[in-house]
Structure 1
Amino acid sequence: MPRHDEIDTAPPATVPGEATSHPPHVPDLPAPRLARVILTAALISYLSVTVLNLVGTDLPAPSLLTSLVCLILIFALQLRHSGASVRRAPVRHRALTLGAQALLTYLPIAVFHSQWGAMAGFLAGSLLLLLPGRWAWPAYGFVGLTMLVPPTLDGLSLVETVYLAQSTLLTGLVVYGLTRMAELVQALHDTRSQLAGLAVARERLRFARDLHDLLGYSLSAITLKSELIHRLIPVQPRRAMEEVSEVLSISRQSLADVRAVSSGLRSMSLEPEMRSAQSVLEAADVEVRLEIRLGPLGQEVDSVLAAVLREAVTNVLRHSRAGTCVLTAVQEEGRVRLSVSNDGVDPSYRDQSPHSGRGLGNLRARLRSTHGTLTVTRGLGGTFELVAEAPAQPPRRLAAPDDAGLGAQEPAA
């Protein structure tokens, strides 16, 4: 004999009527490529200042050519240090490239003196980018202090000496800031793409879950009604015609619900679903005891509890041979309690089908979104009870429901 329900791992559920999250729109957000272009243009501008300083001196051609080669090498190293991949490189590799940049920064100072000082700003920026925080800022400040030495040896004024050290520190901050800006822009674009993909996936899951809730119940009801009609036609044709009318009504409602699901506008009401469940169960020769004491319910709670009822009744029809089923919906002290209990459950049965139901896992997640709970208990003699409780008017939700823990297995029914 089948078990009452097979509970499986289920993906996060959305609530009927809940809006699907979409990535926020940020106007005038620069593209990642533009951010990299801005960074490269700034590096070229600083490099050009040093070239103009060197060209304005009376350096011999071999020295000038050597300086240009060194500048190109520093520029290439700086581009690499400003890339996101270098921070994932091994420590040994980063130490090697930083050491090469330090040599290309300080050795030419012996020849070009203060005219080469602007290149120390690139080194200061690279130190901020590649070193750990506790080492980066002291090293950055040390590079700025070393730039007090060349102008002092050249006999420049105090103002010019301080200017060179200050411009070195400023260049380092600009290189560091623009590099980080480019990385943040890239991360933001990547995040928006991921959010768009998640929104699409979430909408697909909503559609699949709602179809499960709708068609599982409706098709079970249509099957049972059709079997009843088949038995009634030879002996009670008039009642068979009445049952055909009910089948047509269920089919039309299912079609309307499926269309509503596709637009995300579906909503259900608990009390009419209780009456419908009673009719379906009685058609399956199940004795039904019904108790309804409800006041005004929030639309979201009403829809979720109606979905819980549908899933519970579907499980009674599919997974048990119930003779009696008790349906209770009671509202007291601001909370509503839905209970579905039945007999005829085989406690030893375990459905091994790969298509066994995921319904209660979905419904547990839906109830969490309304601050509700879902419990299932199996009693003696093959009895089974499902109880759902929720506030009649839940507080306004500020965020999507927490879907953590949905992968946990439920106790077998």
Structure 2
Amino acid sequence: MAPVTTSESIRRAPRRSRQRRPGPRSAYAFLPWLLLGMGALSNVVRGETPNPWVGGIGLLVFNSLYVSVVLQAFDPRARDTWWTYAALSGMAAVTYGLAIGYGGPWLALFPLLSLAVGTSLRGRRLAWTVGVLTCSAALTGAWRDTDAWSAVTSGYGTLLSGLVTAAILALSEKVLELRETREELARTAVDQERLRFSRDLHDLLGHTMSLIVVKSEAARRLAAVDLDKALAQITDIETVGRQALTEIREAVTGYRESSLTAELDRARDTLSSAGVEPVVRQSGPPPAPVTGALLAWVVREAVTNVVRHSGATTCRIDLAGTADSTRLTVTDNGRGEGAGSPGSGLRGLKERLAQAGGSLESGPEEKGGFRVVVTLPADAGAAQQSVG
């Protein structure tokens, strides 16, 4: 599967401004449900309720606490506080007192309390609380109204209002989390694409410019003694430049895969042009294409560092393959800061190899020179695809 380019990732990133929250737009959508208490309010106004001032104060307290609870329904951090639980406890006390004391239209407080619970609680606390309220509403309706239908409607309304409200809000929260996750993945894809391009550009240009400098110096030295050889070096510079343009285009589109065999040939030519004797040894079965592409990047970076930093006269590249893994070793006899001198190139390669299940170790040799050792498993391709 081809990697997603930066521009594609940006185009695919969701635009929050064009999307609205699923479900109720705001907590104010829950306020009209207070109309369920109009029957109880009517009883208070008409004086059909004993001690109407008790019922009126109870309704005022219940409605105030209800508004306070539901207005925090869309903010999980605000609703999961001691005040929310205290307010629900107060609503429960008022509901049980008025419903048991008066019955009739006052039983509508149970569905309202259940709705408030559905906006605030989740998980087992929600299930237990709604279950208790449902049983309480049904039993109170059967006792106060001596009517089976009243018990059924009160219990069913209480159960439905709590669970449906909780389900709608929970679904809304999950959808928002999925949107945020998708946006984060899009941003991550953009960052990974930028990192990939910067690494590829560093590796390509570092090697190419080093080779051009080496061949230019060789052409300058040969110009006075052998014009034909100097022209051959200049021709090589032109070839390297054209090849670099092609590789940069491939790096931009994301389809570039280095060939290990071709990279070893380039390494021999680069080292020879820089006056460093190349020694390349291969043993065992050839690596898989993905493994070979990763090793090709290592060879390119290591040889570039040998030419630019080591001052070596010999560079040795050993490639040993087995059925389980492939091991690449690059050593030189320079000042101890060649093949693996610290830099963004080797750091980037180390991260790439780690994603494919491999490792990179580098450091100076005890007897002088520098060594880079890379180990990759046989299934490096599968590991890299799983990460990607």
Alignment TM-score > 0.5, same fold: yes
Equivalent of 1:98 in 81, 88, 97: 88
Q: Separation in 2 of the partners of 1:72 and 1:385?
A: 77
Output the amino acid matched with 1:214: L
Q: 1:220 to 1:398 in 2, by over 3 A?
A: closer
Question: 1:378 corresponds to which residue?
Answer: 364
**Alpha-carbon shift at residue 291 of structure 1 (Å):** 2.3
Alignment of 1:7-406 (within 5 A): 18=3, 32-37=20-25, 43=30, 46-51=33-38, 53=39, 60=46, 73=64, 76-87=67-78, 91-102=81-92, 105-106=95-96, 108-109=98-99, 113-127=103-117, 130=120, 135-292=125-282, 297-333=287-323, 335-346=325-336, 357-391=343-377, 394=380, 396-397=382-383, 400-401=386-387
- Tell me if structure 1 keeps the 8 A contact 2:319–2:326: yes
Q: Separation in 2 of the partners of 1:129 and 1:65?
A: 25
- Tell me if structure 2 keeps the 8 A contact 1:120–1:143: yes
**Alpha-carbon shift at residue 275 of structure 1 (Å):** 1.1
Q: Separation in 1 of the partners of 2:262 and 2:187?
A: 37
- Tell me if structure 2 keeps the 8 A contact 1:126–1:176: no
Deviation larger for 251-260 or 359-368: 359-368
Percent identity at matched positions? 28
Q: 1:370 to 1:133 in 2, by over 3 A?
A: closer
Q: 1:183 to 1:119 in 2, by over 3 A?
A: farther
Question: 1:5 corresponds to which residue?
Answer: none
Deviation digits for residues 313-346 of structure 1, max 9, x if unmatched? 1121222111111122344436433221111134
Q: Separation in 1 of the partners of 2:214 and 2:384?
A: 42
Output the amino acid matched with 1:35: G
Q: Separation in 2 of the partners of 1:394 and 1:37?
A: 49
**Alpha-carbon shift at residue 250 of structure 1 (Å):** 1.2
- Tell me if structure 1 keeps the 8 A contact 2:114–2:159: yes
**Alpha-carbon shift at residue 243 of structure 1 (Å):** 0.9
Gaps of 5+ in 2: none
Q: Which structure has more helix as a fraction of its residues?
A: 2
Q: Separation in 1 of the partners of 2:364 and 2:170?
A: 58
* Partner SS state of residue 396, structure 1: helix
Give the TM-score of the pair, scaled to structure 1. Answer: 0.76
**Alpha-carbon shift at residue 180 of structure 1 (Å):** 1.0
Deviation digits for residues 23-68 of structure 1, max 9, x if unmatched? 9999xxx955232339865x467544544x5588795299999898
Cα RMSD of the aligned pairs, angstroms, is: 3.8
Deviation larger for 260-269 or 118-127: 118-127
Q: Which has the higher contact order (CA 8 A, sep 6+)?
A: 1
**Alpha-carbon shift at residue 158 of structure 1 (Å):** 2.7
Q: 1:398 to 1:160 in 2, by over 3 A?
A: farther
Q: Separation in 1 of the partners of 2:24 and 2:179?
A: 14
Q: 1:37 to 1:105 in 2, by over 3 A?
A: farther
**Alpha-carbon shift at residue 103 of structure 1 (Å):** 5.1
